[in-house]
Amino acid sequence: MRNLLYIDGAFVEPALGGFLEVVDPATEEPFAEIAAGTDADVDAAVQAARRAFDQGPWPRMPAASRAAILRRVATEIRDNLVHLAQLEVRDNGKPLKEARWDIGDAAFCFDYYADMAEQVEAEGETVVDVGDDRFVGRVRKEPLGVVGAITPWNFPLLMAVWKVAPALAAGCSIVLKPSEFCSLSCVELARYFHKAGLPPGVFNLVTGLGQQAGAPLSAHPGVDKLAFTGSQATGSQVMQTAARDIRSVSLELGGKSPFIVFADCDLDKAVEWIQFGVFWNQGQICSATSRLLVERPVHDALLARLKAAAERIVIGPGDLDGVQMGPIVSAVQHRRVMEGIAQGVASGARLVTGGGRPSYLTRGYFVEPTIFTDVPLDSWIWREEVFGPVLCIQSFDTEQEAIALANDSRFGLAGAVMSDDLERCDRVARALRAGVVWVNCSQPTFTQLPWGGYKASGIGRELGRNGYEAFLEVKQITSFDHRQDWNWYQSTGNPV
C-alpha cells in the first residue's frame, strides 16, 4: 500500500515521485510504502500552512469552532482504535496492549486541548494595573503562527498528537514530519482531519527521511516555531538552524534517568516499577529510568528478583497474545542497542542477564531484557542513552550519595524514587534536577501535567497548560485615556 503526502487539504504524490519501504520489525519484511518527501514538498506544505494562518479562517475562528473539529478527530481515533493500534504494532513493533493505550491517550489529548481552547478564550484578556490611571494595560494571547513539528518513532501517533493537538487548538497551522521509521498512523491522522472538515492548509503531513524532509522543514523561513522530539544530536542541529532566523523552538530530547530505591521499600513492588521504567516499549523511551541506584543492604536481594523477573518476560511479535516485549523498531536501532551492550561488557560492567537475541526467535529485531551491575560511573553505558531494554545498576550508602549520583548527568528529563518514608521521597524528589519526578512509581504520564526536561534533555514543556501556551504569543496593549490633557504627555517627554 502506498501512502501519500497531505498538503493543502489533499493527498498528493511526492514531487520527485520517491517512496520508502515500511518494514515490520518483527518479521524484517516490507509491507507498505510511504512518500519520500523532499524540500519541494516541504516548501509546498509550509506555503499552504502560511496561507492558512495568514489568510484563512482557522486562527480567527471562535475557540468553540476549532474545538468542535478537534473533538471530531478524537471521535475518529476512538472509532478506529483497534485499526490504529494494529497498525502501530506492525509499524513500530510494540505489544498490542501498549499500542491500544497510546491510541486512547491520543484521542484524550485532542479532547483535552479542545476544552482548553474554550477555557482560555473565556478567560479573555488580562487587564493590568500599571499604577497610572491615565493608562490601561492589557495582555492578550494570540496564536504563534506556522509550526514545523518533527516527531519520533517510539510513540508514533501519540508524540505527534502532543504537538498537533495544542498547536491547532491555539489557532496555529502546522507541518508535521514524522519519523521515516513509523509514519503510518500519522497518515491515518491526516485522513481523520480531512474527514473532520479541517480547513485546507491548517494541517499538512510530509513523510520522508530526516535530511531530505526534516532538515528543509527546520530551515524553512516560513516556519515561525520548530517543535522537535528526538535525539540530542539532532535537537542541537534544529536549535542551531532556528537560531539563524531567531525563531521559537521547543526541544524534547533524550535522557538517562535515575531510579533511586531505598532499603525500606517493598522489593516486589520495586521490581515491577523498575521493569516498567526500563523494559516497557522495549526500553525505547526518552524518560526510561535506566540508571538504577540501590541502597547497598538490599542490592543483592533486589538484583536476584530483578534477574528472575526479567527472564520471565515474554518476548515476541507484538500482535501475539501474552507478549510483553516486542522487537526494536528497526535494523539501525537494533544495531545501536547491541553496540551499547557490547560497550557495557567492554567497560567491565557485570552482565547479569540478557545481552542478545532470544534463541527461539530467528528473525526480527529482538533484544532480551538486559541487566548490568557494578557499572563504572565513567562508562559510556552509564552516562549515555541506549534507547533499548538495558538497565544499569549501582549501589549507594546514603541519601546524599544517591542524590549526587542521580544528578551527575548531563541529562535531566526524569527521575524516580522509591521508599516507604514519604518525607524522604519528597526531599529526594525536590533535590533531583529533572523535569519529571515519580514517587513510588515510574513512567505514568498524564496529559494534564507538563512534560520536559532540565539540562541537555530539552527546552520548553509539552502537555498541560504549558503545552498549550507554547503555541501562543503574548502581546501587551497599552491605551492612553484620550480625554486626558495632551499637554501632560508633552511636558513629561518620552516616558520610556
- How many whole angstroms separate alpha carbon 214 and alpha carbon 193? 22
What's the full length of the chain, in residues?
496
335 backbone dihedrals φ, ψ, rounded to 5°? -65, -40
Residue 149 in grid coordinates: 513539528
Residue 353 in grid coordinates: 542477564
**In the β-sheet with 458-459, what is the strand arrangement from edge to edge?**
10-12, 5-7, 203-205, 173-177, 146-150, 225-229, 248-252, 458-459
220 backbone dihedrals φ, ψ, rounded to 5°? -70, 125
- How many whole angstroms separate alpha carbon 290 and alpha carbon 186? 29
- How many whole angstroms separate alpha carbon 79 and alpha carbon 295? 47
User: What does 194-207 look like in DSSP terms, one character per residue?
Assistant: HHHTPPTTSEEE--
Residue 417 in grid coordinates: 524514587
The one catalytic residue in 88, 252, 368, 385 is: 252
User: To which residue does cell 529526594 refer?
Assistant: 428
- Catalytic site includes residue 252: yes
- How many whole angstroms separate alpha carbon 59 and alpha carbon 204? 16
User: What does 447-464 look like in DSSP terms, one character per residue?
Assistant: TTS-B--EETTEES-BSH
CA proximity to 329, closest of 444, 208, 182, 218: 182
- How many whole angstroms separate alpha carbon 289 and alpha carbon 155? 17
Distance separating the N- and C-terminal Cα atoms of the chain: 63
- How many whole angstroms separate alpha carbon 472 and alpha carbon 482? 30
- How many whole angstroms separate alpha carbon 159 and alpha carbon 398? 37
Residues annotated as part of the active site: 252
